Amino acid sequence: MDINQYKQKLSDVFQINAITVDLDYFLLTHKPFKNIRMSSKGLFLNGEQIFHENELYKTIMDNRDKHQFHVVKGDNGSGKSHLIRWIKENYERDAKNEAVIFISRMQSTLKGALQQIIHSEVIQNHETANRLKKLIDANEHLDDKHLKNVILAHFMIAVKEDDDSHNVKLRPNKRKNLQEFLSSQETSELLLREDGPIDRIQKKLASDVKNEVMNDVDPHFVPEDFYITSALAQELKKTDVSTRALKIINEIQESTQEDVQEEVEEFRELLATYLNQFLDKVVQECLHLRGTDLKDIFTLLRQELKKESKNLTLFIEDITSFTGVDKDLVEVLITDHKENESLCRLISIVGITNGYYKTSLPGNIKDRITSHIEIDNVVIQDPDECAELAGRYINAVFLEHKQIQEWKNSGYTLDEFPVATTFKQHHWANFKIVDQGLELSIFPFTKAALWNFYSNLDVQTPRNFLQSVLLQYIQKYVVDGPKGEFPPEIDKVIADFKRVPNWKNPTTDRVLKKEVPAHLNDRYQTLFRIWGNGTMDRQFIDGKQVVGGLEEDVFRVFGLSTVRGLEVANTGVTGITPLGGQVKPKPTGENEPRLKPVDEGKRKPPVGGGEPTNPPVEPPIELPVVEVQTIKELDEAYSEIEQWVKGEPLTSTWIFGDILNFIREYIHWDLEGVSTLIVKDFLTNNYVLIEGQTKSVRIKEENALMFKRSDVLRYALEALAQYKFEGTGSWNFAGSQMALLSLHTWIEMEKENILSFLRKPYDYMGESWDMDGYVVAAEFYTTSLMNGFTGDEKNAEDIYLQLVQDKNKNKVQQHSQPWVTMTKFLNLEHTDLFRRYFNELQGSVTRAASASTFFFDAYEMIETIDRLKNLDFKLKIEDIPKGSSSWYTSVNIISSIQAEDRLKKAMNEEIVHSTEVVDKFRSILGDQFTLENVEHTVKEMKRMLDYLKEIMEPYNHSPFDVLYKNGLDYKEIVEKIQSLQDLKVTASAMEQLVALSNNPSLQVLPFYRVLDNFRKLMDEKYLDKKKEMSSIKAELENISGTQLDEVLIDLSTIKDFITELDERSVNHAVK
């Protein structure tokens, strides 16, 4: 077989889409499912059970007369299709009098699914054929190249016609905007783009791309579909895009403001969810197909089969192939023939992804599922299963056509299972499938290599393993093997997989460098780290040399020379289990590798098949052996330690620093319940010493933590010396495992001693030191006195949330003088101490005092708060000695606050003040403070002020502006007043303290001032007006009411004069 033939073979075998795989290869590569999780509520079992595929199959067959609807659940690539195909192959063989329809994923499109129904034998032979016409029409319609535009247009219409009957709603105005967005030329392009939502839906209905498998295409809108950068938004705004579409753009474009961006993301999600509601409708409209059509066809089919005394079984690899009519299809599947006697029995086995199950399968349907067959992480569960799957595929690749034909002719019997022999001679690559008595070659891999590849995959599914590992690396072997370039260099493998196993001991890297030429180093690394066990340990197993878990043939076959490796102390003892390969040493002789170096011309395999050509190898390269040098400083350190253990003093200072560092990093302080802050402060040079060390401590020696002279400590110190001088500050040196073991042993022995030293102060003799309690209590007092509580904190969780907050001392001044005086006893740094004390420090203990990010075990802190709450935060501290170290910071605060009844006095003062405030309110508002009453009063006040404005009665309105600006939270005010009222009768000092913390009387004072000003205003207006009315009345009395009469009299007089002086009177007189 030449390279091209191998490639063709690989293509045939690795057609990952199960349906397109030839039955021969399907059966050759089928690895039985051994641990299928089946859960059911009724029919077969109640609960959950693990089945082998044979047992699963038997269960289905044994219940063949019953209605069954099985859901095969798993992520993409987990093997759903493979299992369904396997059941189907067996079922077709075993089940008699049965109509079977198998709907494979094909291209995983609706078009593909409909075609399969149309062309299925069962349908073609029945009357239902006519009924299929509609489906066929729909099928033809799918070829319309304008389908994408049609889909978009239908979404637009669906939005336009939305009658608010869907769960997710958009306001009419937004609906119109969205409608414009969908129809506007400029914006619709965003949705029609390649891999955009409409493109995906169109592909899922009828992909034009041949052989493109649409398994991973999501035919729904997702929020990311509406992602628009602000730059693109600006571009769009320059176009003729409509105003309404622009509004949508404004709402979905990226923003740099965090709160706006949050809204943007929410709106994108809303749009996606909203539009997805119309997906079924749109698809059905586009295809001129109603969901009920599909339902009718199956109903008719079941009726006809019933008449023929036949039953129907449906195998559907992927429900999403039926996008748009999937829900109607499921309706068909749940209908039990016992509910409708005209129907035949129906068994259906349907592949569903976990995502679809969660989001798209209606709850009522879920209840009617006969069983859930879960196959995630079932196919490959351990290195053996990984090797078995690989072995079957590799075997299929290297089998001769003739062998396959013979097996087919035998009826695919297990006894005749064909085995490729191409690489049989490489025993290390032979893998036994015990339960089938088979031995298959996994050449060119070792079992370790396969498992290392698989376990470092991002997506650990069989499909991904087959594609990314097997297919790719067999191809690489076929292509690069002959050139001596397989396995690839470690960098290339890292480029493929991102993650690969490292050396078990990083210093091995150094050893390898010494042993192999630089240009081969990276390939050796691949061998040792991936094919091997991550070491260069040299062992002799059954008389055969194995380096890093790899026998000599492995190196040879890949054109490399064997390396010397590192001698393991217990040579020949089976203490180290090699991870790589099936190392099965056999006597040399007949199984010696046959591979010999050949020149390029001879490497070409014979044309037209024949015996497979074994990939040739490069001649082995002889490598020099490198001596390891001794280190002077290390020897000196060893010498000093040896003297010390004999009773001499220990003078080297580095030892102590390193041992403390190591202890700090070794012990999981969080798990041991010791704060890293305490570790940082007290696991130091000042408090700890090694017996015989020539240094002093800050405290009396008997109080210090002393590490006793012992052999165990000696080995630990020697290990530290290696760490310092051999590893130059790292554990990268040969034999570091032993060194670490020594150190580990000593620390484990000393651990309890160290922990008990750090659990209470060295000078405290009692047994009830409660550091957690002291720190929490002191912080509680600090928080209370520094206005840290809002007053609403009733439970421990609420209190916890305030304790961890920053405190602001500026507000304290507004409290009463005794309260302010109390705060002088606080330590303003205590909040920092509190946080650091409880910080679950990430990283080095040395950062305990400087870390700027805190991780708290809230549960633990809340438990402490709850405990202290039960004590009303009164801790017994009488027997605690005075101290100034961080052990005592919290205790000192508690002690000062509780002394001389200071706290009580301060609280009493505050309560008196609070009572006065309540009385003030009462004097204005009466006795009952309910929100309803307060709001009514405020409403009346505003009405009154409006009236004053209306009658142009002057007043200073600035004190009342707050009523119109919604500047007062009446609910909060009422609560505060009520809590002020309750204060006097509250028995718990803790509750009083929390309630008083934020100076509740101060909080309500603004409202009181408004009320008081208003009352004064009313008084002023009332009195003023009463007074003015008196003067008006007096004035009215003084104004003569006869003035107008006098005017009339004057006019009358004037009239008399005029009448007399008018010349007519003369005339009259003359006359």
Give the residues lining the site for another protein (CB under 8 A).
923-928, 930, 932-934, 936-937, 940-941, 944, 947-948, 951, 953, 1011, 1014-1015, 1018-1019, 1021-1022, 1025-1026, 1028-1029, 1032-1033, 1035-1036, 1039-1041, 1043-1044, 1046-1048, 1050-1051, 1053-1055, 1057-1066
| Among 1015, 1027, 1006, 1005, CA closest to 955 | 1015
Residue whose CB is less far from another protein, 206 or 973: 973
Work out the number of other CB atoms within 10 angstroms of the CB of residue 250. 14
**Beta bridge partners of residue 546, listed in sequence order:** 539, 551
Nearest to 77 by CA among 170, 200, 216: 216
* Pairing, β 346-352 against β 68-73: parallel
How far is Cα 586 from Cα 592, in angstroms, rounded to an integer?
Answer: 10
> What is the nearest approach in angstroms of another protein to the Cβ of residue 965?
21
CB 682 within 8 A of CB 844: no
Host H or E run for residue 37:
strand 36-40
**Nearest to another protein of 633, 1028 (CB atom):** 1028
Residue 288 or 1033 with smaller CB distance to another protein = 1033
CA triple 794-797-798, angle to 5 deg: 50
Q: Which is nearer to another protein, 901 or 1046 (CB)?
A: 1046
- Whichever of 230 and 930 has its CB closer to another protein, that residue is 930
804 vs 931, beta carbon nearer another protein: 931
Shortest reach from residue 984's CB to another protein, in Å: 21
DSSP codes joined into one string, 604-619: SPPTT-SSPPPPP-PP
Closest CB to another protein among residues 513, 1027: 1027
CB of 1019 to another protein, least distance (A): 7
What's the closest the beta carbon of residue 941 comes to another protein, in angstroms?
7
Compute the least distance from the CB of residue 986 to another protein, in Å: 24
- We find the least distance from the C-beta atom of residue 955 to another protein, in angstroms, to be 11
Q: How far is the CB of 989 from another protein (least distance, A)?
A: 32
Q: Are 565 and 536 in contact (CB under 8 A)?
A: yes
> Cα separation of 521 and 747, whole Å?
38
Residue of 880, 907, 893 whose CA lies nearest to 828: 893
Could you tell me the smallest distance in angstroms from the CB atom of residue 937 to another protein?
4
Tell me if 67 sits within 8 A of 312, measured CB to CB: no
613, two tokens: 């050509």
Bridge-partner residues for 312, per DSSP?
A: 99, 346
Q: Select 521 or 933, whichever has its Cβ closest to another protein.
A: 933
Q: Which amino acid is at 1017?
A: L
Nearer to another protein, 94 or 1050 (CB): 1050
Task: Please give the Cα distance from 296 to 308 (Å, whole number).
Answer: 18
Q: What is the DSSP letter of 900?
A: G
Tokens of 700: 């009396």
Choice between 47 and 1041, CB closer to another protein: 1041
Question: And the tokens for 884?
Answer: 């100034």
Can you tell me the distance from the alpha carbon of 731 to that of 447, in angstroms, rounded to the nearest whole number?
A: 29
Q: How far is the CB of 954 from another protein (least distance, A)?
A: 12
- CB 912, min distance to another protein, A: 23
Smallest CA-to-CA distance from 206 within 320, 353, 108, 324 is with: 108
* Nearer Cβ to another protein (310/1021): 1021
Close Cβ partners of 450 (under 8 Å, ≥ 6 residues apart): 383, 386, 387, 390, 442, 469
From the CB of 1016, what's the least distance to another protein, in Å? 10
Q: How far is the CB of 1058 from another protein (least distance, A)?
A: 5
Shortest separation between residue 791's beta carbon and another protein, angstroms: 23
In the bound state with another protein, the residue whose beta carbon lies nearer, of 628 and 1047, is 1047
Amino acid letter, 894 = I
For residue 857, give the nearest of 844, 842, 879, 876 by alpha carbon.
842
Concatenated DSSP letters of 831-879: HHHHHHHHB---S-GGGTTT-SS--B-HHHHHHHHHHHHHTTT----TT
Q: Which is nearer to another protein, 540 or 1057 (CB)?
A: 1057
Complex with another protein: residue 711 or 1060, whichever CB lies closer: 1060
Exposed, middle or buried, 574 (CB in 10 Å: 0-12/13-18/19+)?
exposed
Q: Is 820:807 a contact under the CB 8 Å cutoff?
A: no
Chain center to CA of 690: 47
The least CB distance from residue 968 to another protein, in Å, is: 15
Residues 6+ apart with CB under 8 A from 682: 757, 758, 885, 887
Pick the closest to residue 69 from 293, 313, 328 (CA basis).
313
Rounded least distance, CB 681 to another protein, Å: 58
Q: Is the peptide bond before 605 cis (omega within 30 degrees of 0)?
A: no
Q: Are strands 438-441 and 430-433 parallel, antiparallel or unpaired?
A: antiparallel
Other CB atoms within a 10 A radius of the CB of residue 464 amount to 17
Residue 1002 C-beta: closest distance to another protein, Å: 22
Least CB distance from residue 1020 to another protein, whole Å?
9
Dist CA 39 CA 879 (whole Å): 62
Please tell me whether the peptide bond between 444 and the residue prior to it is cis, using omega within 30 degrees of 0.
yes
Shortest distance, CB of residue 943 to another protein, whole angstroms? 8
Question: Which residue, 237 or 1016, is less far from another protein as judged by CB?
Answer: 1016
Q: How far apart are CA 274 and CA 878, in angstroms?
A: 66
Contact 722, 634 (CB under 8 A): yes
Nearer to another protein, 884 or 1042 (CB): 1042
In the complex with another protein, which residue's Cβ is closer, 570 or 1040? 1040
Nearer Cβ to another protein, position 901 or 1019? Answer: 1019
Task: Report the DSSP beta bridge partners of residue 876.
Answer: none
